[in-house]
Structure 1
Amino acid sequence: MKPGSVKIVDRVSAIEAIKRLNEDDLLFLNRLIVERLKLISQAKSTMLMGSFTVGDRVGFQAADGQGLEGIVLRLNKKTVSIVTDDGHQWNVAPGLLHLIATVGAKQRGR
C-alpha cells in the first residue's frame, strides 16, 4: 500500500456506514469524492502532458472515428493544441494522443 493511502478493510462495512448517513452527510461525502477524483484526473493529465513537446507529430481519432495527424502547437492546462495537416486546429486531451515523431527525431533526420 502506498504511503498516505487509506485501505477499506471491509467494503460491506463501508457500504453499511454510507447507508446510515443523512442527506447532508452524503452531500458532503459526495463533494469530497468528486474533488478527489478531479485531483487524480488532473495528476494523470499532467503526467501524460509531459510526454509531448511543442513540434512533436501526434495522431488522434476525431469524434467521427477519422484518424488525424498533426503537430503540437501548445501544451495547455488540460489539453494539447494541435494543427492538422489540413490547417485545422484541435484541442485534444493528452490521453487521446499517440506520439508519431518527436521534435528531436525530426531535427536529427535533417
Structure 2
Amino acid sequence: MNIDIDHLNEAELVELNHRIVERLKFLDSMHTHKEMMQFNPGEQVSFEPPGRGKQIGTLVKFNKKTVTVITESGQKWNVSPHLLRKIKDVSSKESKSSNVVKLLSKD
C-alpha cells in the first residue's frame, strides 16, 4: 500500500497523526479485551514478573487494560492479560460450579 502524504499541510498532518494514534489505541484495546476474555474471574493463573519467581494466584477482577490477581501470598497484582497463563484445575466438579473465590488471609 502506498499512501502519499506529501501534499498535506502541517494542520492536516497533525490531524492525521491524531486519527492514527486514536485508531492504534482502539486496536490495542480490542486486542487486550480479546486476551482478557480467555480468562474468568475465580480462575487460577500464573505469571512471571521481571526479577521475581513465578507467581500463582486467583484472577479477581477485569480492569480496563489489566486484570487483578491475588497471589497465594495475598499480594494484589494488576497484570496485563498477555502475561497470564492458566493453571489446570484439579479440583472437583462441585467447586467449579461455585462463584466463591477463596482468598488467603495475611496472618
TM tier relative to shorter chain: 0.7 to 0.9
**Counterpart position of 2:91:** 106
**Counterpart position of 2:102:** none
Taking only aligned residues, the RMSD between alpha carbons, in angstroms, comes to: 2.0
**Counterpart position of 2:100:** none
Deviation at 1:21, TM superposition (A): 2.2
Following the alignment from structure 1 to structure 2, what is the Cα–Cα distance between the partners of residues 34 and 95? 22
Identity of aligned residues (%): 35
Following the alignment from structure 1 to structure 2, what is the Cα–Cα distance between the partners of residues 23 and 73? 47
- Give the secondary structure class of the aligned counterpart of 1:90: strand
**Counterpart position of 1:37:** 24
1:45-84 equivalences under 5 Å are 45-84=32-71
Which one has a larger percent helix, Structure 1 or Structure 2? 1
- Give the secondary structure class of the aligned counterpart of 2:47: strand
Q: How many residues align?
A: 95
Deviation at 1:32, TM superposition (A): 0.7
Deviation at 1:63, TM superposition (A): 2.9
1:45-70 CA-partner distances (Å, limit 9, x unpaired) = 11111111111111112132532111
Amino acid at match of 2:17: N
Asked whether the equivalents of residues 56 and 101 of structure 1 are also in contact (C-alpha less than 8 Å), the reply is: no
Deviation at 1:107, TM superposition (A): 4.0
1:77-96 CA-partner distances (Å, limit 9, x unpaired) = 22110011111100111111
- Structure 1 residue ranges (4+ consecutive) displaced by more than 3 angstroms after TM superposition: none
Asked whether the equivalents of residues 57 and 70 of structure 1 are also in contact (C-alpha less than 8 Å), the reply is: yes
